[in-house]
A = this chain, B = another copy of it.
Amino acid sequence: MTQVSNEALKQLATVSTATLTSLLYKKGFRNIFLQGVKPLKSGQRLVGPAFTLRYIPSREDLDGIEVFRDQRHPQRVAVEEIPAGAVLVMDCRGDASVGSAGSILATRIQVRGAAGIVSDGGLRDAQGIAELDMPSYCAGASAPTNLIKHHALDVNVPIGCGGVPIFPGDIMVGDDDGVVCLPAHLVNEVALEALEMERFESFVLEEVRRGVSILGLYPPVDPQTLERYSNWKANQ
């Protein structure tokens, strides 16, 4: 398995999820953007490998409030074992009628150095989580305890989240649009391409702002576009 480089992670922190979905689409991937998963706060960036937690529907005799007394409860294990830099990704089957974590667990995750939280369920005490210096993404604020709907089962197995397959170690990248999941083996290559694509789009945006038509410019079908871009890059 290709090792994801730190360089690539740094590069990904500067590129948009829109750029990444376009690059992955060119490579044949149509389903890497988590549907229905939104940032709790705007203006933040998320990058890090997925560390997953799988829930199945809860059952009344298995999911009383007392389960949290068990130190091997998978949700507790996930919170205490997530590596620094990783992103906790929770599979709630898209059910946001309850929270999948609250501000105490989120704070613990942040203190442990995690990069962020992603859930296709709800988050409770959402305002408290939003105020942490760590980005969180979910399907909406939702006060009820997760036990009402979710039985925590497995840590760090492949899951679905927001309709997207997530394998442990895949790289989660988030911005204000939402979150994409990059298959680990593509990350180093994609990060470089994304940097270049963002650079070109910066040039395009400048051109557009000064009144240039997008025809021939975006994509750069017109040879003069590439020439102007070449000059623009030289002047950066």
Contact = CB atoms under 8 A, between A and B. Distances in A.
B76 A214 contact: yes
Interface stretch (A1-9, A61-69, A82-90): A61-69
A108 interface: yes
Interface string A117-133: 00000001111000000
**Copy total for this chain:** 6
A71 B107 contact: no
Interface string A23-65: 0011011111101001000110000000000001111111001
A148 to B, nearest CB: 5
A123 B51 CA distance: 29
A79 interface: yes
Contact of A148 (B25, B124, B177, B205): B25
Interface in A73-103: 76, 79-80, 93-94, 97-99, 102-103
Interface of A: 16-18, 20-22, 25-26, 28-33, 35, 38, 42-43, 56-62, 65, 68-69, 71, 76, 79-80, 93-94, 97-99, 102-105, 107-108, 111, 124-127, 140-145, 147-148, 151, 153, 158-160, 163-166, 175-178, 180, 183, 201, 204-205, 208-209, 211, 213-216, 218-219, 221
29 contacts: A18-B124, A22-B65, A22-B145, A25-B144, A25-B145, A25-B148, A28-B61, A30-B60, A31-B59, A33-B144, A38-B140, A43-B127, A56-B160, A56-B165, A57-B164, A61-B183, A62-B165, A69-B219, A93-B94, A103-B205, A104-B208, A111-B209, A111-B211, A124-B177, A125-B177, A141-B176, A141-B177, A143-B180, A151-B165
